[in-house]
Every structure is written in structure tokens, then in C-alpha cells.
Amino acid sequence: MDFLDYGIIFLAKYLGYILLAVFIFLYLKNRRKDFLIIPLLSALISRFVFTEIIRFFYFRPRPFVEQGISPLIEHASTASFPSGHAAFYFALSAGVYRYNKKAGFWFFGASLIIGLARMFAGLHYFTDILGGLLIGLLSYFLVRYFSKKKQDRFHALPQ
């Protein structure tokens, strides 16, 4: 393995942990409960609900399986579409962007880098990343919409 391979592995496997640490730091800095709950809930729903439902009905083999190559990161030959990592981190990015535009811009950039690195590592196709991005954004907007509706209904109750 050369230096480029190690860089791709780092970005594909560990950059997400850095994003989560920065997310927690941003939460601790401003202590807004909705900043924590809405982005995190949307990220979890996008990854563990929407992504898994799609994978249940549509199985797309990972590139390393179809092309008979060794991926840079060891991975089971599960479905590749949509990318669960992309869905999770793009949903999180949308939530961060809502409260902090500058940090959100960097989160979106890092999420794209994670997705591309996982593509170069042989784990995903570009359309897997794009599908994850769309699912992540959709999840964020759905969670935000329903939380706002619930909040409006709560404030409409007689005091």
C-alpha cells in the first residue's frame, strides 16, 4: 500500500468520527437541545430506517464484488446502494447547516469527502453516494417538519 491508499482509508473510515466529535463540541458550545436531537435523529433514521428499507427491496452488489477486486477497507459483501455513511453524514450536515452555516458548509464538504473516499476504496459507486445524500437530506427535512408540527401542536394547547 502507498501513501494515497492510507489517506483514502483514513478519510473513508475515520473522518466520520472526527465529524461526530466536532458535532458534539458544537452542541456543548451552544447547548441547544434541538441542535442535538433533530440532526442526530435524522441521521439515525436515514441510516438505519430508509437505507435498510431500500436495501431490503433492492440489492446492488458492491463494486469490489462485481469487479473482483480487493477493497482498501475490509467489508462484507452487503448491498452498496444507497450508502449508509453518506445518508448518515449528509443528514447530520443538513442539521448543522441549519444552526451554523459556516460549520454546516464544512460538514457537507467532509461528508462528500467521506463518500468519495469510500468510492475510491471500492465500497461504493458514485450513485450510491448520491442516493445516500438524497436520503440524508430527505430524512433531515422530514424529521424537522414533523418536530415543528409537534411543537406547533404543543404550543396551540390551552394554557
Q: What is the pLDDT of residues 86-111, one digit of tens each?
A: 999 999 999 999 999 999 999 999 99
Q: Give the separation between CA 38 and CA 36, rounded to whole angstroms.
A: 6
Q: Is 81 part of any domain?
A: yes
- Percentage of residues of the chain with pLDDT beyond 90: 75
Grid cell at residue 30: 451552544
Tell me the per-residue pLDDT of 7-30, one tens digit each, with 9 for 90 and over.
999 999 999 999 999 999 999 988
pLDDT of residue 158: 54
Q: Give the separation between CA 117 and CA 128, rounded to whole angstroms.
A: 12
Q: Is 127 part of any domain?
A: yes
Q: Is 26 part of any domain?
A: no
pLDDT of residue 157: 47
Q: Give the separation between CA 2 and CA 145, rounded to whole angstroms.
A: 46
CATH number of the domain bearing residue 57: 1.20.144.10
Where does residue 86 rank: exposed (0-12), middle (13-18), buried (19+ CB within 10 A)? buried
Query: With bands split at pLDDT 50, 70 and 90, how would you rate the model's confidence at 151?
Result: low
**What value does the mean pLDDT take over residues 61-74?**
88
pLDDT of residue 31: 82
Of 24-33, 107-116, 136-145, least confident by mean pLDDT is: 24-33
Residue 154 has pLDDT above 80, yes or no: no
Q: Is 20 part of any domain?
A: no
Residue 52 has pLDDT above 80, yes or no: yes
Q: Is 25 part of any domain?
A: no
pLDDT of residue 152: 57
Torsion angles phi and psi, residue 32, rounded to 5? -90, 120
pLDDT of residue 91: 98
| Closest by CA position to 61, among listed 85, 82, 84, 79 | 79
DSSP per residue, 84-97: HHHHHHHHHHHHHH
Q: Is 24 part of any domain?
A: no
CB 108 within 8 A of CB 89: no
pLDDT of residue 150: 66
**Considering its fold, how many domains does the chain have in total?**
1
Domain of residue 135: give its range. Answer: 3-14+33-154
The pTM of this model reads 0.90
| Cis, bond preceding 71 (omega within 30 deg of 0) | no
